[in-house]
Amino acid sequence: MKGTRCLKYRPGRAQLAASLLLGLLWLGGAGPLFSAENSAPAASLTPTQSIYLEYRELDHSTATWAIPVTLQAAPFKKEPPLTQRDLTRGTLKFGNSTDHFTPFLWDRAQGKLYLDLNRNQDLTDDPDGVFSCPTKGANEFYQPFNNIHLTFKTPAGSHQALVDLSFNAFGYQSSVSAACRYYWEGKVVQPGQEWQLALVDNLAGKLGSAEGGSLILRPWADRNQPIDPQPGSLDYLSFSHNLFFGQQAYRLDCAYVQQDNHPKFRLDLTEQPEQLGELKIAGQGIHRLLLARAGPSGVPVQTAEQAGAAEAFAKRYGLRLAASQLPSLVVVLDSPGPLVKVPIGAYESRLTLEHGGAQARRLSDGYYGFAQTAKSLVVNPTNAATLVAGGPLTNSVSVTRRGRSLTLNYQLLGANGDAYQLQGPRTQPEFAIYRPGKNGDKKLASGKFEFG
């Protein structure tokens, strides 16, 4: 988080004061629409455990996806009474199957959206497919429509999705985004720890498949908290077949199936052996630390069992095993202590901090993935690796003179000099410049930095 401010320079000594107020906003409403107590059966893990994820609707969004649109000028076979102006007709392309394509008619002048939910080119026989823009006096170029239930057919049964759709019309271009208000959740029980494991699919790939979707992994006690949708949020994990959490490595496999006459996602978690090494963390206030170990480039991801066999072979014959031979893996560490054990390998890292109800993310982390760095964090079985990251955070202002102006640059710095950005709502940091005098300091200027 940084900002720039230019001021006219005045002769004399200047004293600079900067203060920062921290805040955090949990986006969304008071809580979910349906109770999770009855919808997510618990099951203790065995070496191979199947957990059934059940559909759960929410009053906050979990992800937003851009939906491809094909426009058309010709009317549909049947249409409702229209204003005959400011009309947009087309088809929403959910996924790659034409069976999931959904014709629509957007009457911008009336703030109405008609969806052909039964996909028969008749927009008059879908009583549940008529929606009104909730914003009074909304312009005709951007209108949201809420509480839309979509249904897609799959070999395992109907796939549900509660979304809010937002329509944009600029010139001859139109775009549509879908904010998903659901996920598929289950409970994972480990000794002394219960987890919420939820899947957010992307409405764009193979419906009923986790490929391309995201995982939510957090303590079960936090399951009613809204998910942070901001870029850089670590509430989400890209779906990975190899995951390490709660001091255990797992192989994840997912399928959309019927269970108890209801469609669900079945998530198979198979415990995997991993050789562990020590990681020292020099820093404070880490809320969540993600470590990503890349698999062999261009080679299908091997299982941890295969990697273990390769390690045993190398050890037996006195060979060195390259780190690139290990399978890809995502390590999740919540509120880690100063010394933790993680699987060996070379990692990229992402992290968030939390202190006093406020959260911050490291600016060098990638917004939608792990940033590529010149030096990886290497964990080996003999010597402890060290990660210097986290707090305490320090307000820092650099002052540069340019002619008769001063340029002030603000940054929030942590351990190792890394810059951080606050997540959620935050008060802009303020500054004031004073000139000392015999009768007290004279205030020369003050202002606020812009977030950027």
Whole-prediction pTM value? 0.74
Of 374 and 240, which is predicted with more confidence? 240
pLDDT of residue 365: 79
**Band of pLDDT at residue 356, cut at 50, 70 and 90:** confident
Of 270 and 324, which is predicted with more confidence? 270
For residue range 3-12, what is the model confidence (pLDDT) as tens digits? 444 433 344 4
pLDDT of residue 411: 82
Mean pLDDT over 217-223 rounds to 93
pLDDT of residue 19: 33
Strands 242-245 and 329-334: parallel
Phi/psi for 227 (5° steps) reads -85, 140
Query: Among residues 59, 320, 90, 94, which one has the least CA distance to residue 205?
Result: 94
Q: Is the pLDDT of residue 24 over 80?
A: no
> In the chain, pLDDT over 90 holds for what percent of residues?
38
- Contact between residue 133 and residue 72 where contact means Cβ atoms under 8 Å apart: no
Query: Among residues 75, 158, 84, 175, which one has the least CA distance to residue 121?
Result: 75
Q: Is the pLDDT of residue 251 over 80?
A: yes
Q: Is the pLDDT of residue 14 over 80?
A: no
The alpha carbon of 283 is separated from its chain's Cα centroid by a whole number of angstroms, namely 24
> In the chain, pLDDT over 70 holds for what percent of residues?
77
Q: Is the pLDDT of residue 225 over 70?
A: yes
**Band of pLDDT at residue 107, cut at 50, 70 and 90:** very high
| Mean of all residue pLDDT scores within the chain | 79
Of 116 and 160, which is predicted with more confidence? 116
Mean pLDDT over 89-93 rounds to 94
49 in helix, strand or coil?
strand
Q: Is the pLDDT of residue 290 over 60?
A: yes
Stretch among 21-35, 54-68, 108-122 having the lowest mean pLDDT? 21-35
Mean pLDDT over 114-135 rounds to 94
In the numeric block, which tokens belong to residue 152? Answer: 């897609």
- Contact between residue 427 and residue 35 where contact means Cβ atoms under 8 Å apart: no
Stretch among 16-25, 46-55, 201-210, 214-223 having the lowest mean pLDDT? 16-25
440 in helix, strand or coil?
coil
DSSP notation for 276-343? EEEEEEESB-EEEEEEEE---TTSPPPPHHHHHHHHHHHHHTTPPPPGGGSPPEEEEEES--SEEEEE
Q: Is the pLDDT of residue 261 over 70?
A: yes
pLDDT of residue 372: 57
